[in-house]
Amino acid sequence: MSQTDMFGEPAQQASPAQASPTQQAAELRTQLHHHAHQYYVLDAPQIPDAEYDRLFQALQALEEAHPELRTDDSPTQRVLGKVLDGFSPVRHAVPMLSIRTETDTEATGAQAFDARVRRELGLTEDQPPVEYAAELKFDGLAINLRYEAGVLVQAATRGDGEQGEDVTQNIRTIGQIPLKLQCAEAPPAVLEVRGEVYMRRDDFEALNERQREHGDKTFVNPRNAAAGAVRQLDPAIAAKRPLSFFAYGLGEVQGWAVPPTHSGLLDALGEMGLPVCAERTVAQGASGPQGLVVFHQVIGQRRDQLPFDIDGVVYKVNSRELQERLGFVTREPRWAVAHKYPAQEQLTQVEGIDIQVGRTGKLTPVARLKPVFVGGVTVTNATLHNLFELRRKRARVGDTVIVRRAGDVIPEVVGVVGEARASYVPNFRMPANCPVCGSTVVREPREVNHRCTGGLFCAAQRKQALLHFAQRRAMDIEGLGDKLVDQLVDSALVRTLPDLYKLGLLKLAALDRMADKSAQNIVDALDKSKTTTLPRFLFGLGIRHVGEATAKDLARHFGQMGRKDDEQKTGIMNATVDQLLAVRDVGPVVAQSIHTFFAQPHNCEVVEQLRAAGVTWPEHEPSAEADAASLPLAGKTLVLTGTLPTLSRDEAKAMIEEAGGKVTGSVSKKTHYVIAGEEAGSKLEKAQSLGVPVLDESGLLALLAQNASGAVESANPDQL
Ligand code: IVH
């Protein structure tokens, strides 16, 4: 462990250089006890995990150098966590262990593990490689599910490893966890399945968004939200928290022939209806540890795109027989190791608080930070969401804060560390006027957000509106990024969306740092974007509350944009609030927002000007909701896997959705088709094992074409 903290300064507060080893150990223990209580018992951590690990490792190192300092109550000597008063204790039939963590570089980490395993098995160099299973290290909390005769009878947390808490009621609310195992033959007398309860990032974002809207406390990270939900005393509240689960191992087993390998075990659990993560591999044969190195690298690159947080990967000796031969040291199996990735939470300091003005005029306080490396990138800004969040978190200039960056989500300040402030720092106030355009700032009653009232007069809102319109999922104008939009708006070349299409080569090429070639590319991209679809166009307009999904629903329902001067009053532009309410998933707030948008003549003018500039999309007759059922893929669920030869994943998804189908991420018995391309992995295997029809790209196209003529049900999809 490095001797410096994350600011590159000596880690003073943890182990003052001048203190004696005894004092240092005592101080570290006090801090660790405090933070463990905050984390495990109160679900309110004050420092990031990486910081906790650092303190823990510092104490471990100290105790290793001075074994006489080791005390029975040292956090290093027992696994943490206390039984809360509200839950009954559960003694684990088989202790729940932890895994040794490797922090080495990716190559040496896997090799060191392999070398250790071989040494302990007494294997010499000329003997064959050991086979390993590699999987993800999910960032949630460990749960033991006890099935007796195939029925879920108890769910318990890990607690201290020997004794946990009975959280059966809450775990039962997790839809992913089967209450009854699917077994072809008689179910095992006892089967304890171990795995991780976690919260997906999108579920976490949505939950926090809801909490924020209601002015409730937000959760620090998905793991914390999951832990809070599992230990929520009121199962009704727990049920509203969207939890997920992955199985990764076993506890007590009676009356079941456990498969001889770990990978086989996970397959078998999957077949019993337990969620098992598809992102796993077996490194076998000559590739041995090299396969693990590649897995670590590949997952590291894809970490941001996963729908949930992981903090590393886990390597396990695949053969259960070898696992048994290897056994355990203290509380860790010798046959498994966790290999971590850089932490997604770090400490840094707030250097200032700026205000950013968004597309809808929302003023977002953003912390300007001392640069910090977190989640694989250097972060210099992090959102504080709104004034109330900022106040609740008590973030002020000069504070040390926890910054979180996970996935593609914008970095955020999740909390402040410590209470002491060096000197008086004034409380942050929202400005009365927009910092960009000077218009009045308002906060509507019962709203948490402050907004600039400048509308498209405000350059910040204009810029964001243009970026929203140009983004890949809307008009997809390649090359129109924030730098160019800044230039275009600041030089007054572009004020409104239609102005984009009046740009031309000359004006573009005259811009600073714009090569002729790039200017031509932008002109081409603008031209190309003119041929679009109604959902993309609608989404691109940036109507409040109209996201991609709503835009698709609206387009499907109305079929046409309509024209204000149309006597028939058809299309979305002319829809009344009641007509809008008839659209699937459109509620009063959304309906009102769409209606208000098109009641503004200047918004309709924008639509007309865009049409005049040549923007077109296919339209169809309005289709009542009943018609949705007659769409070619209505009610069908498809899964995409691997790389298709010509269609991108987004394109394939769009085509399927256009045809009324739904695209999901995992294969189950309910999946109608799996569309498999090059390098399709476990989803393909799963489809085959479940007998779900598998199609290639041309099969998909044929399905869409055939289906359109209503002939699909009789066709054998495998032969398409
Ligand atoms: S196996 C005997 N596999 O990491 C080994 N654990 O320090 C028992 N975890 O508390 C654990 N993903 O909650 C295993 N794929 C995975 C895991 C995993 C996450 C967690 C688990 C446990 C901790 C071990």
Write the pLDDT tens digit of every residue in 347-388. Answer: 999 999 999 999 989 999 999 999 999 987 899 999 999 998
Q: Which atom of ligand 1 is nearest to the CA of 333?
A: 2
* Confidence (pLDDT) at 285: 54
Distance from residue 513's CA to the centre of ligand 1 (Å): 52
Average pLDDT on 441-464 reads 90
Kindly state if the Cβ of 311 falls inside 6 Å of ligand 1.
no
Closest CA to 548 of 654, 460, 660: 654
* Confidence (pLDDT) at 657: 83
* Confidence (pLDDT) at 711: 34
Q: Is the pLDDT reported for residue 623 higher than 90?
A: no
* Confidence (pLDDT) at 423: 59
Question: Which residue's CA is the nearest one to ligand 1's atom 15?
Answer: 137
Residues counted in the chain: 720
Marked catalytic residue, from 82, 137, 653, 686: 137
Question: Which residue's CA is the nearest one to ligand 1's atom 12?
Answer: 137
* Confidence (pLDDT) at 213: 78
Question: Do residue 220 and residue 140 come from a single domain?
Answer: yes
Question: Do residue 331 and residue 185 come from a single domain?
Answer: yes
Kindly state if the Cβ of 315 falls inside 6 Å of ligand 1.
no
CATH of the domain at 228: 3.30.470.30
Kindly state if the Cβ of 336 falls inside 6 Å of ligand 1.
yes
Q: Is the pLDDT reported for residue 1 higher than 70?
A: no
**Structural domain boundaries, residue 57:** 21-77
Kindly state if the Cβ of 314 falls inside 6 Å of ligand 1.
yes
CATH of the domain at 570: 1.10.150.20
Distance from residue 189's CA to the centre of ligand 1 (Å): 25
Q: Is the pLDDT reported for residue 484 higher than 50?
A: yes
Q: Is the pLDDT reported for residue 408 higher than 50?
A: yes
Q: Is the pLDDT reported for residue 310 higher than 60?
A: yes
Distance from residue 194's CA to the centre of ligand 1 (Å): 9
- pTM here is 0.64
Q: Which atom of ligand 1 is nearest to the CA of 96?
A: 8
Closest CA to 614 of 552, 542, 529: 529
Kindly state if the Cβ of 333 falls inside 6 Å of ligand 1.
yes
Band of residue 681 on the pLDDT scale cut at 50, 70, 90: confident
SS3 362: strand
* Confidence (pLDDT) at 72: 62
Distance from residue 248's CA to the centre of ligand 1 (Å): 7
Question: Do residue 172 and residue 63 come from a single domain?
Answer: no
Among the candidates 375, 395, 417, a domain finishes at 417
pLDDT tens-place string over residues 18-43: 789 999 998 998 888 778 666 654 55
Question: Do residue 592 and residue 696 come from a single domain?
Answer: no
Residue 628 one-letter amino acid:
A
* Confidence (pLDDT) at 444: 81
Kindly state if the Cβ of 138 falls inside 6 Å of ligand 1.
yes
Among the candidates 283, 307, 340, a domain finishes at 340
Question: Do residue 283 and residue 167 come from a single domain?
Answer: yes
Distance from residue 103's CA to the centre of ligand 1 (Å): 16
Q: Which residues contact 484 (CB under 8 A, 6 or more apart)?
A: 511, 522
Distance from residue 378's CA to the centre of ligand 1 (Å): 29
Distance from residue 267's CA to the centre of ligand 1 (Å): 18
Kindly state if the Cβ of 142 falls inside 6 Å of ligand 1.
yes
Distance from residue 99's CA to the centre of ligand 1 (Å): 6
Question: Do residue 544 and residue 648 come from a single domain?
Answer: no
User: Phi-psi region for residue 507, left (φ > 0), alpha (ψ -120 to 50) or beta?
Assistant: alpha
Q: Residue 42: inside a domain, yes or no?
A: yes
More reliable by pLDDT, 420 or 332: 332
Distance from residue 293's CA to the centre of ligand 1 (Å): 19
Q: Is the pLDDT reported for residue 720 higher than 50?
A: no
CATH of the domain at 358: 2.40.50.140
* Confidence (pLDDT) at 714: 31
Catalytic status, residue 670:
no
Q: Which atom of ligand 1 is nearest to the CA of 135?
A: 15
Q: How far apart are CA 361 and CA 482, in angstroms?
A: 17
Share of the chain above pLDDT 70, in %: 89
Question: Do residue 147 and residue 272 come from a single domain?
Answer: yes
| Alpha-carbon dihedral 467, 468, 470, 473, rounded to 10 degrees | 140
Q: Is the pLDDT reported for residue 123 higher than 80?
A: yes
Inter-helix orientation angle 201-213/222-230, to 10°: 80
Q: Residue 276: inside a domain, yes or no?
A: yes
Q: Which of 40, 53, 98, 335 to mutate to test the pocket of ligand 1 (most atoms within 8 A of CB)?
A: 98
pLDDT tens-place string over residues 570-579: 999 999 999 9
Residue 122 one-letter amino acid:
G
Question: Do residue 273 and residue 325 come from a single domain?
Answer: yes
Q: Is the pLDDT reported for residue 622 higher than 60?
A: yes
Q: How far apart are CA 125 and CA 127, in angstroms?
A: 5
Residue 398: HSE in the Cβ half-sphere, 13 Å Cα cutoff? 10
Helices (H) and strands (E) in the chain, counts: 24, 24
Q: Residue 444: inside a domain, yes or no?
A: no
* Confidence (pLDDT) at 78: 42
Kindly state if the Cβ of 135 falls inside 6 Å of ligand 1.
yes
Q: Residue 651: inside a domain, yes or no?
A: yes
Question: Which residue's CA is the nearest one to ligand 1's atom 18?
Answer: 137
Q: How far apart are CA 168 and CA 449, in angstroms?
A: 39
Question: Do residue 245 and residue 359 come from a single domain?
Answer: no
Question: For residue 430, what are the CA distances in angstroms to 10, 213, 427?
Answer: 37, 18, 10
Both tokens of residue 3?
Answer: 């001797």
Question: Which residue's CA is the nearest one to ligand 1's atom 16?
Answer: 137
* Confidence (pLDDT) at 286: 58
Average pLDDT on 478-504 reads 94
Asked whether 227 and 141 are in contact (CB, 8 A), the reply is yes
Closest CA to 231 of 177, 178, 159: 159
Kindly state if the Cβ of 98 falls inside 6 Å of ligand 1.
yes
Distance from residue 141's CA to the centre of ligand 1 (Å): 9
Least confident among 37-46, 296-305, 402-411, 658-667:
37-46
* Confidence (pLDDT) at 420: 54
Closest CA to 198 of 248, 235, 237, 153: 248
As for how many domains the chain has, the answer is 5
Tell me the average pLDDT of the chain. Answer: 86
Stretch (H or E) spanning 61? helix 49-65
Question: Which residue's CA is the nearest one to ligand 1's atom 17?
Answer: 137
Compute the radius of gyration of the chain from its Cα atoms.
29
Q: Which atom of ligand 1 is nearest to the CA of 101?
A: 7
Q: Which residues contact 308 (CB under 8 A, 6 or more apart)?
A: 138, 139, 140, 198, 199, 200, 201, 222, 244
* Confidence (pLDDT) at 716: 33
Question: Do residue 284 and residue 384 come from a single domain?
Answer: no
Specify the pairing of strand 377-383 against strand 363-374. Answer: antiparallel
Question: Do residue 599 and residue 690 come from a single domain?
Answer: no
Question: Which residue's CA is the nearest one to ligand 1's atom 24?
Answer: 98
Q: Is the pLDDT reported for residue 3 higher than 80?
A: no
Band of residue 301 on the pLDDT scale cut at 50, 70, 90: confident
pLDDT tens-place string over residues 51-99: 888 898 899 899 889 988 887 667 775 433 344 558 899 999 999 988 9
Least confident among 77-91, 408-422, 636-650, 696-710:
77-91
Closest CA to 134 of 279, 327, 20: 279
Band of residue 418 on the pLDDT scale cut at 50, 70, 90: confident
Q: Residue 355: inside a domain, yes or no?
A: yes
Band of residue 717 on the pLDDT scale cut at 50, 70, 90: very low
Q: Residue 545: inside a domain, yes or no?
A: yes
Kindly state if the Cβ of 196 falls inside 6 Å of ligand 1.
yes
Among the candidates 293, 324, 340, a domain finishes at 340
Residue 338 one-letter amino acid:
A
Q: Which atom of ligand 1 is nearest to the CA of 249?
A: 1
Question: Do residue 303 and residue 374 come from a single domain?
Answer: no
Q: Residue 82: inside a domain, yes or no?
A: no
Question: Which residue's CA is the nearest one to ligand 1's atom 3?
Answer: 248
Q: Which atom of ligand 1 is nearest to the CA of 196?
A: 13
Average pLDDT on 434-449 reads 90
Share of the chain above pLDDT 90, in %: 49
Q: Residue 494: inside a domain, yes or no?
A: no
Q: Which atom of ligand 1 is nearest to the CA of 140?
A: 13
Q: How far apart are CA 28 and CA 7, in angstroms?
A: 19
Q: How far apart are CA 669 and CA 687, in angstroms?
A: 8
Band of residue 719 on the pLDDT scale cut at 50, 70, 90: very low
